[in-house]
Amino acid sequence: MKRETLKQRRRRLRREKAIRSCTRIAVCVIAALALVTVGWKIAAPFLGDSYGQAETGNDGQKGPIAEVQAAENEDGSGNAGIAQLAETTEVPYEAPGWQYDNTGWWYAVSDTTYYQNGFAVIDDKTYHFDSSGYLSVGWTPIGGKGYYFDENGVYDPEKDHSMMIALTFDDGPGAHTGELLDTLKQYGAKATFFLQGVNIEQYGGEAIARMASEGHLIGNHSYDHPNMLKLSAEDAATQFQKTDDLIAQYNNGSGASVVRFPYGNKSKELEAIAARPCFMWDVDTMDWESRNVQSNIQAVLNGVEPGQIILMHDIYQATVEACKTIIPELVSRGYELVTLDTLAAASGVELQNGVTYYGFSQADIDAGNVSDAEN
């Protein structure tokens, strides 16, 4: 190695010294910034309203600066609180009462206050206001329960039950059914399984025994998934009988208590042969086609509504994987995941043998499309 000349050595030392002093300056600047930030945080609450108002405020509409009266319960399940409009808010109305802005309806109790986070009776009608003070409309989870408010926000006590959804899984059991049962159990969720005889033979009945003991509903989905419209009455009956016999081996001697026809292909004659309540669905996730976790999640969560029957297939890994997101998300939105018989009972529907049910959502009820009992 060549020895460095004195000149080169001086230059190197000068360079190193410069780097050291630059580093020192940078460290000093960072420390000073940190000090100022901490100081500002500590001082902010004492600097008066102007600071606080800059942070609150709801697009200049209204922001709770101070509650005149706290809501009875933090989760909104009690009487509404009364919150004070931010002082910076230009009072957007001439008189107290109902107000509307681009987010929704709210209620001004006085010139500067409004209802928030709870129920309030106005003109003998019960309404609910969310934590920002806006009127609740439609199904709303409040304190872990479902409440229904009509299009004017008026509370309908007739529909006072949990927001329920029925997840249904067809074509199993399969290689991933046990994993799905684990997820359901983890979140206290119940589901309905429409089983195929051939898959009970292939994958065994261990999953069926678990379904029975863990509170799931067991359904019959034929022996080997034919288009039953093309079968003779005798063959159709055999399709159900073989599967019931297989189920019974793992279900304390009982066959399935509900039926879903393969492809939903049904007739009055087939319903009579099934001789149990039969079920279609509100939401077809098309999981058998997509085999994609994200599209399954979106298919269920986008547009989910209380009372819906959701169709999935536990024979696909992507479906079982998607349920690890779908189930906790529905639970966190306040939904209770129940079996089809529980959903029907909560909707005030008494299930009949040989009748097909389509769903129990408000859309089904409004369209008179709950079942084919009248047809």
Binding site for Ni ion (CB under 5 A): 170-171
Closer by beta carbon to Ni ion, 171 or else 314: 171
CB 225 → Ni ion: shortest distance, Å? 6
Closest to Ni ion by CB, 85 or 191: 191
Q: Cα separation of 364 and 261, whole Å?
A: 20
Nearer to Ni ion, 171 or 305 (CB): 171
202's tokens: 């292939």
CB distance 347 to 307 below 8 Å: yes
Residue type at 68 in one-letter notation: V
* Rounded distance between C-alpha atoms, residue 282 and residue 310, angstroms: 6
Residue (244 or 305) nearer to Ni ion, CB: 244
- Min CB(362)–Ni ion separation in Å: 27
In whole angstroms, how close is the CB of 141 to Ni ion at the nearest point? 32
**For residues 312 and 296, is the Cβ–Cβ distance under 8 A?**
yes
∠88-90-95 over CA atoms, to 5°?
A: 130
Peptide bond into 173 cis (omega under 30): yes
Least distance CB 262 / Ni ion (angstroms): 5
* C-beta of 162 vs 317, nearer to Ni ion: 317
State the catalytic residue, choosing from 128, 216, 221, 313: 313
Nearest approach, Cβ of residue 148 and Ni ion (Å): 33
Token pair in block for residue 98:
């109902």
Q: How far is the CB of 199 from Ni ion (least distance, A)?
A: 10
SS3 354: coil
Nearer of residues 171 and 336 to Ni ion, judged by Cβ: 171
Cβ(196)–Cβ(223) below 8 Å:
yes
Is-catalytic flag, 161? no
Q: Which of helix, strand or coil describes residue 53?
A: helix
- Comparing CB distances to Ni ion, the nearer of 170 and 305 is 170
Hey, CA dihedral for 131, 134, 135, 136, is it positive or negative? negative
CB of 221 to Ni ion, least distance (A): 6
Residue closest to Ni ion, measured at CB:
170
* From 130, 170, 171, 244, active-site residue: 170
Which residue(s) pair with 279 in the sheet? 357
Give burial (CB, 10 Å; 0-12/13-18/19+) of 243: buried
Q: In this structure, are strands 283-284 and 138-142 parallel, antiparallel, or unpaired? A: unpaired
Structure tokens at 106: 């709210």
173 vs 2: CA distance, rounded Å? 77
Rg (CA), the chain: 31
Structure tokens at 372: 């084919």
Query: Has 282 been annotated as catalytic?
Result: no
